[in-house]
Amino acid sequence: MNISNNVLSFAGSVAAQQQQGPIFPALNETAFNAEFRPIYSPVKRDQFADSVVKIPESIGRAVVRTDNNDVLGVVGKSYGIAQNQGLQSVVAEACENVLPRNYLQGIKLKETTSSNGAFTKFTYEFPNAAQPIKQMIRSLAGNHISETVLNFRVSVVNSFSGRTPVILQAGAVDLVCLNGMVLSNFDTEKRRHTSGYSPEVFGEFLKIQAAQYITRVQTWQQWAESQITPDQAETTLVAAGISPRLTKQLMEQMHVEVQKRGQTIWALYSALTYYSSHSSETFTVKGSSTRDNVAETLYRRSSEVARVVGSRPWAALTGRAA
């Protein structure tokens, strides 16, 4: 991989070149390319006519989609464009190199964008990695067990506006309700968009996350068996920095989750992951009726949830319950 005029280029994946082995679905919605174009400013030359002057690249350049000429952002001279199709090739090769072989069948793709592609996210799910969670529901009529299924997934978050670095996520999704869980981020903040990505860069991270996936499932199973009170749940959210208004909404969602998951830490966690996965009547994305901002907002919500789950109040809750 190399940088030419700050546009990152990538080698194709081994699977694509050999047309054998795992099949990673090709990108569609996020497959567009982007390029730099100069910025011009109007200037009044005389009382009869206006003209334009070119803004120096040291001040800024426009990042433009080549398929529809939409401007995605304005960035500085050192910024480099990371094309999604290049990232897809790198991630596909990294997955093929390090994930367990049984994961690499029937791979599924999900793509989301905001602001006409200024923010993008594409996710590969691995159905063969599915793991069950048994949920204990206690009631006056007696106890019974329901089951949900979690699936391993790998996501790439990329922007063309300078708002985020390239981020590789390992996570899971609840196949029953499509709530997403973030296991860990490989945050390329230090690289931004100015240096190389390769299968080796991402591979070690993915290898560790895949190895830890079963351990995480075991932890979630413990949460599904750990009873808590509504007061404990609410106190934890407030102590973790959640606003009173959002806490109230999350407690209402937890009440919904309890009906199918039990009065457990898992139900509270599911309320949080529902919030980070859905623009719903309860958790409407502000401004989404007039702006294309749902995908980026849900990504930011997932970061908020990760902060809560990584907080001391959450550790105290899960430790006490254990």
Q: Of 214 and 19, which is predicted with more confidence?
A: 214
Instruction: Look at residue 47 in the predicted model and tell me its pLDDT.
Output: 65
Q: What is the pLDDT of residue 191?
A: 54
13-27, 40-54, 182-196, 206-220 — most confident range: 206-220
Q: What is the DSSP string of 165-189?
A: --EEEEEEEETTT--EEEEEEEE-T
Q: Tell me the pLDDT of the chain averaged across its residues.
A: 89
- How confident is the model over 259-277, as pLDDT tens digits? 999 999 999 999 999 999 9
For position 8, what pLDDT does the model report? 47
pLDDT at 121: 97
Angle between helices 244-261 and 265-277 (to 10 degrees): 120
Is the predicted pLDDT of residue 16 greater than 60, yes or no? no
Whether 10 has a pLDDT exceeding 50, the answer reads: no
φ, ψ of residue 158 to 5 degrees: the values are: -145, 145
Q: What is the mean pLDDT of residues 87-115?
A: 95
The single-letter DSSP state of residue 160 is S
Beta-sheet pairing, 71-75 with 34-37: unpaired
- In whole angstroms, give the CA distance from residue 127 to residue 152: 7
**Token duo for residue 119:** 């923010």
CB 147 within 8 A of CB 134: yes
Among 238, 243, 246, 231, which Cα is nearest to 282's?
Answer: 246
On whether the CB atoms of residues 209 and 184 are closer than 8 A, the answer is: yes
**pLDDT (tens digit per residue) in 200-259:** 889 999 999 999 999 999 999 999 999 999 999 999 999 999 999 999 999 999 999 999
All structural domains of the chain with their residue ranges: 2-213, 226-321
Instruction: Write out pLDDT tens, residues 296-318.
Output: 999 999 999 999 999 999 999 99
User: Regarding beta strands 61-65 and 119-139, do their DSSP bridges make them parallel or antiparallel, or are they unpaired?
Assistant: unpaired
- Look at 189 and 288; give whichever has higher pLDDT: 288
Cα-Cα-Cα-Cα dihedral sign, residues 284, 260, 175, 216: positive
Going by pLDDT thresholds of 50, 70 and 90, the confidence category of residue 92 is: very high
90-116 mean pLDDT = 96
Which of 99-103, 138-142, 210-214, 281-285 shows the lowest mean pLDDT across its residues? 138-142
Which pLDDT score is estimated for 172? 97
Say what the pLDDT of residue 5 is. Answer: 45
From the number of C-beta atoms within 10 Å of its C-beta (0-12, 13-18, 19+), residue 114 rates as buried
pLDDT of residue 234: 98
224 and 136 in contact (C-beta within 8 Å)? yes
d(C-alpha 213, C-alpha 210), whole Å = 5
Please check the confidence at residue 2 and state whether its pLDDT lies above 80: no
On the question of pLDDT at 15 being above 60, the answer is no
Instruction: Report pLDDT for 317.
Output: 97
**pLDDT at residue 20 above 80?**
no
